[in-house]
Amino acid sequence: MSKSLTLLLGAAVLTLSSAARAEAPLNVVASFSILGDMVENIGGEHIDVTTLVGPDGDAHVFSPSPTDARAVGEADLFVVNGLHFEGWLDRLVEASGYAGPVVIASQGIDALSFDEEREEHANHDHDHDHDHDHDHDHDHDDSHGADQEHGPEDPHAWQDLQNGKRYVENIRDALVEADPAHADDYRRNAGQYIEAIDALDNKVQQRIGEIPEANRVLITNHDAFGYFANAYGLDVLSPVGLSTAAEPSAADMAKLIRQIQERDVQALFLENMTNPALLEQLADETGVAIGGTLYAGALSSDGEASTYLGMFKHNVDKLTQALDD
């Protein structure tokens, strides 16, 4: 083979290799299932997504494995919730050696302060609108150490669809910066996703608004629906705090039982990733039926709650079926 032909073939191989590298999907790691679904919707065919805490998984008690650390270490982009939701985040990043961009999906949202919500409840300032002024009840004391792991802010911000839009915008901007060659696709996908979020947000407001005001009381295993309550006009009562690892005191349970009876609560709701024992105990002691399972911090592995928008639709269906009486 002539020297010129050898050089020509070598150049062709290098060109093909460069093209293959250029077309390789962006390697994105998302901290939990809801973020993973958002990233997939925006990134489409241009990304590969690894989700650390998968469907029905509890990010509150997640313990990263060496495999998780390796996945993060090899990522081009790491997308997390922030607001101290992932208490294991700093340890994982350090163990992985990851030095790339960490995208805080909740960046820029108006975070709810847990302590301020308690004060609002004490003042009994009821206001049913979509400006985040609605009363949010927390019926547990300040002694839950697990709450303190989160910090002073409620991290479950995705439970307001308007916050979900900000998540999408932050993820979109990070993908555009990391992979500008496909920026138009990321922007188009995000725009369509935001339109779907807005349409669903309007529907949720309408359907929750049809529930009699006295019935708009949401009782779940742990306090993950504060943003939902503030956005759509409900009161939240919960046996424990922001973390599924918390345990209620006897005084907490007694207070909650008394309030359930005083307010003529229509239904209790399980969460897919938490132990049902507390809610079953409440149901036994109050005679209030369990109205179904809601999804707060994790999607379902299949079925109608396996996407972010599907989760909202499922939750609203369950709430309206049980409370609209």
116-166 pLDDT, tens per residue?
544 444 333 334 344 444 444 433 333 333 333 456 899 999 999 999 999
What is the predicted pLDDT for the residue at 129? 41
pLDDT of residue 20 exceeding 80: no
What is the predicted pLDDT for the residue at 128? 36
Same domain, yes or no: 51 and 145: no
Same domain, yes or no: 120 and 240: yes
The helix (H) or strand (E) run that includes residue 293 is strand 290-294
In a domain, 297, yes or no: yes
- Residue 231 CA to residue 136 CA, distance in Å, equals 10
Same domain, yes or no: 185 and 257: no
Tell me the average pLDDT across 186-203.
98
Same domain, yes or no: 191 and 280: no
Same domain, yes or no: 171 and 227: no
Q: Which CATH number belongs to the domain containing residue 27 in this structure?
A: 3.40.50.1980
- HSE (CB half, 13 Å, CA atoms) of 119? 5
18's CB contacts (< 8 A; 6+ apart) are: none
In a domain, 14, yes or no: no
pTM, entire model? 0.82
Same domain, yes or no: 93 and 233: no
Structure tokens at 36: 């993973």
Same domain, yes or no: 245 and 132: yes
Name residue 102's amino acid.
V
Find the DSSP H helices in the chain: 3-23, 33-43, 66-73, 89-96, 114-123, 145-150, 161-178, 183-209, 226-232, 250-262, 277-286, 308-323
In a domain, 121, yes or no: yes
pLDDT band at 313 (very low <50, low <70, confident <90, very high): very high
Same domain, yes or no: 174 and 90: yes
In a domain, 3, yes or no: no
In a domain, 203, yes or no: no
What is the predicted pLDDT for the residue at 210? 95
What is the predicted pLDDT for the residue at 23? 76
Question: For residue range 154-176, what is the model confidence (pLDDT) as tens digits?
Answer: 999 999 999 999 999 999 999 99
Same domain, yes or no: 191 and 232: no
Q: DSSP character for 60?
A: T
Choice among 166-170, 213-217, 267-271, 314-318 with the minimum mean pLDDT? 267-271
What is the predicted pLDDT for the residue at 138? 38
- Residue 318 CA to residue 299 CA, distance in Å, equals 15
- Residue 189 CA to residue 225 CA, distance in Å, equals 28
**3-state DSSP assignment of residue 70:** helix
Same domain, yes or no: 172 and 124: no
289 and 25 Cβ atoms separated by less than 8 Å: no
pLDDT of residue 286 exceeding 80: yes
How far, rounded to the nearest angstrom, does the alpha carbon of residue 241 sit from its chain's CA centroid? 16
Question: For residue range 241-271, what is the model confidence (pLDDT) as tens digits?
Answer: 544 455 677 887 888 888 889 889 999 998 8
Same domain, yes or no: 172 and 252: no
- Residue 300 CA to residue 132 CA, distance in Å, equals 27
In total, how many domains does the chain have?
Answer: 2
Structural domain including 85 reads 21-107+164-195
pLDDT of residue 62 exceeding 70: yes
What is the predicted pLDDT for the residue at 151? 61
pLDDT of residue 97 exceeding 80: yes
Same domain, yes or no: 40 and 171: yes
